[in-house]
Amino acid sequence: MSISVPSAKSASLNAAKSAKADEFYTQLTDIEKELKHYKKHFEGKVVYLNCDDPRESNFFHYFSYNFERLGLKKLIAACYKSQDVDLFSAGAAEQAIYLVYEGDKNGSGVPELEEIGVQHFKADGDFRSPESVELLKQADIVVSNPPFSLFREYMSQLIEYDKKFLIIGNMNALTYKEVWPLIKASQVWLGVTRTGTGQMWFRVNEDAPVKTGQRVDEDGVRYQTVGNSAWFTNLDNSKRHEDLILYRPYDPEHYPTYDNYDAIEVSQTVDIPLNYDGVMGVPITFLGKHNPEQFEIVGIAKAPLGEPSRIYPKQTQVGKTGARSAVRKLNDGPALKVKKPPIEKTYYEVDGEYYIQLYARILIRRRKVKP
Ligand SMILES: C[S@@+](CC[C@H](N)C(=O)[O-])C[C@H]1O[C@@H](n2cnc3c(N)ncnc32)[C@H](O)[C@@H]1O
């Protein structure tokens, strides 16, 4: 019997699945679109999918079906706390398992059940557990979409064990204190594919809680979009060696400077001026187009990672009625001076001057000489 392609139609699997918030599954097409840029990295390698129920995960499907084409040495997939009827071994429900696949042994051309070694974890298969870490040590490359709530720990573990990886996370994670130093030092970067708005759709179980950002396809399969999703990796890809084409000349009228960081504001990556040699603040989505030979990353305008030159005493908000309220004392992004207090937005007021706070900006500088 061959392993069936994970699909929401496999109701027998899904029905028994709990509706945990982090149970959302990456679509095969999204995996294929990204993975096609990394083929050369996989030859002779052990790949570990450490947050992947092989019965549900399209990552397992992708790597098992492409095992020979990629020239893999071994594929390991770990399933955290098996929560439904175990298809592989009757009576083993509620136990975490991991699978080992070493390629097509019987010449059928597809991965089959008898070719897959099913092992039981003693504990729950948590990616941080000693058993999972032992598997991690065997691996060359880790690929997964880990639970977002544990992204900091997940990334830190990959770095601690010096692993190559290709994982999905929320783009905002790059401003985490555990992640930002790696991005700045060019040890981690974003992958190739992201939709313009960062919307990647993940399949969710039939009984997942109803939330905004969901859709149902014609077969009744439910999908959830999760913010600004992006691939994080330390595997090289050709996209990060392509120059961004710039066409706007610098004009001080159009590029205001921040009050608390020594840089100009560029609100959209496409507007990066082609002839400005100083520091520019760009949205974090710039990193999806970053070629380290074209721009140098000099910092981030977001406390406490980047150090602002000025701390504002408090933020104020003006409501529709004109009522003012102090909302929080905080200074975590770049500030732009404005003539009047903005309506229905938070702002800083210092000595009769008004400043609005922007979202975190990456601070970059054009390289004059390519490294
Ligand atoms: C966002 S889902 C993605 C599933 C799969 N990787 C995919 O992309 O289709 C994250 C998965 O991690 C599992 N998980 C949650 N906590 C975990 C932990 N501590 N260790 C390992 N896996 C965990 C969840 O059960 C869930 O299936």
What integer is the mean pLDDT of 173-202?
Answer: 87
Residues 18 and 153 in one domain: yes
CA distance 347 to 338: 9
**Residue scoring higher pLDDT (67 or 303):** 67
Q: What is the pLDDT of residues 121-166, one digit of tens each?
A: 999 999 999 999 999 999 999 999 999 899 999 999 999 999 999 9
203 and 65 in one domain?
A: yes
**Mutation test of ligand 1: which of 58, 80, 133, 148 has the most ligand atoms closer than 8 Å to its C-beta?**
80
Q: End of a domain among 240, 274, 292?
A: 240
State whether 165 and 270 are in the same domain. no
CATH number assigned to the domain comprising residue 71 = 3.40.50
**Mean pLDDT throughout 87-103?**
71
Residue tagged 């396809």 (tokens):
217
- Does residue 145 belong to any structural domain of this protein? yes
Q: pLDDT category, 370, cuts 50, 70, 90?
A: low
Nearest residue CA, atom 15 of ligand 1? 147
Same domain? 186 vs 71: yes
Cβ of residue 147 lying under 6 Å from some atom of ligand 1 = yes
| Side-chain-facing half-sphere of 333: CA atoms under 13 Å | 19
What pLDDT sits at residue 85? 40
Please give the tally of structural domains in the chain: 2
pLDDT at 90 (0 to 100): 43
150 and 233 share one domain: yes
- 185 and 250: one domain? no
Range of the domain at 107: 11-240
Instruction: Tell me the pLDDT band of 15, cut-offs 50, 70 and 90.
Output: very low
Q: What is the pTM of this model?
A: 0.88
Same domain for 215 and 293, yes or no, is no
Q: Is residue 3 part of a domain?
A: no
Indicate if 247 and 236 belong to the same structural domain.
no
Q: State whether 251 and 215 are in the same domain.
A: no
Residues 328 and 341 in one domain: yes
Q: Is 51 in the pocket of ligand 1 (CB under 6 A)?
A: yes
From 215, 240, 265, give the residue that closes a domain. Answer: 240
Whether 217 is covered by a domain: the verdict is yes
Ligand 1 pocket, 30 CB below 6 A?
no
**Domain presence at residue 2:** no
- Give residue 5's pLDDT band: very low, low, confident or very high (50, 70, 90): very low
* One domain, residues 85 and 164: yes
